Structure 1
Amino acid sequence: MLLRLDLDPELDPETQDRLARRLRSEIAELDVDSADFSPTGPAPDGAKGTDPVTLGAIVVALSASGGVFTALIDVLRDWLGSSSSRHRISVTIDGDTIELEHASATEQRELIQAYIRRHDGS
């Protein structure tokens, strides 16, 4: 699974980096096999560290345990809802992408449930 992070462009690079790393940490606490940053190109102006940009995407390998996909989507939804900033996360599985951003709770729930049904394997 690929998570593409489009963080609020009005935030400074250090804040964007901190937010992306916090999200990756929250994902890693789930029962996933791995959650690693994926290089996506040259670092933005002002970015710290020597890696190429690592906060543009997170590659997640899901474990076989039941419910981890739904828990991951819940983490993403909660992470987006915890901020008033304009962030967006694109979740892609086998070429099927859903974009999560600020929307009404009902809209989010309906979109997420349809996406989960397509990829949950149950």
Structure 2
Amino acid sequence: MKGNTSMRSGCTDHRADGAMKVLLVLSLDPELDSEAGERLARQLRAEIAELDVESVRPGRGGPVPDGAKGADPVALGAIVVALGASGGVFTALIETLRDWLGRSSARHRVSLTIDGDTIELERAAVAERRDPIDAYIRRHTGS
């Protein structure tokens, strides 16, 4: 079964208790089946969890119940990351996403939303979009 695991949301309550919350939305290659998509989403969550972040959790929807016919694209394609106040974590998150996208030849995209401000990263465009990505980082880190 093939399907696109894309989800968009305007999740914006991002600064509670000093933590900045980032909504990541994975739009995985539509040629992938749901099992491969779920594996890739888990891999990305694990890589992000290795950073100095407060928390990493799936977006709305939660885990797929036993016996379900397929993964809910909202549960599969959305990741909420809470970043602490320590400097450099947001930049490290962006670099992790760039690296994750760069390791695959598939047509994946990742959208980041902070306080209603969204930027979309794609493998092919990561190098050519360095200036807009750097401007996005500066807007949300104050540097």
The size of the alignment, in residue pairs, is: 118
Change in CA separation of 1:100 and 1:52 when aligned onto 2, cut-off 3 Å: closer
Moved over 6 A (4+): none
Alignment partner for residue 85 of structure 1, among 97, 106, 117? 106
Post-superposition offset of 1:105? 4.9
Unaligned runs of 5+ in 1: none
After TM superposition, the structure 1 stretch with the greater mean CA deviation from structure 2, 108-117 or 51-60, is: 51-60
> What is the match of residue 120 of structure 1?
141
The alignment's TM-score, normalised by the length of structure 2, stands at 0.75
> What is the match of residue 60 of structure 1?
81
How do residues 1-122 of structure 1 correspond to structure 2 at under 5 angstroms?
A: 1-39=22-60, 46-47=69-70, 53-122=74-143
- CA distance in 2 between counterparts of 1:62 and 1:80 reads 21
- CA distance in 2 between counterparts of 1:26 and 1:88 reads 16
% same residue: 68
User: Hey, which of these two has a bigger chunk of helix by percent?
Assistant: 1
- CA distance in 2 between counterparts of 1:14 and 1:117 reads 36
- CA distance in 2 between counterparts of 1:92 and 1:85 reads 22
- CA distance in 1 between counterparts of 2:69 and 2:55 reads 28
The alignment's TM-score, normalised by the length of structure 1, stands at 0.87
Post-superposition offset of 1:33? 0.3
CA-based RMSD: 2.2
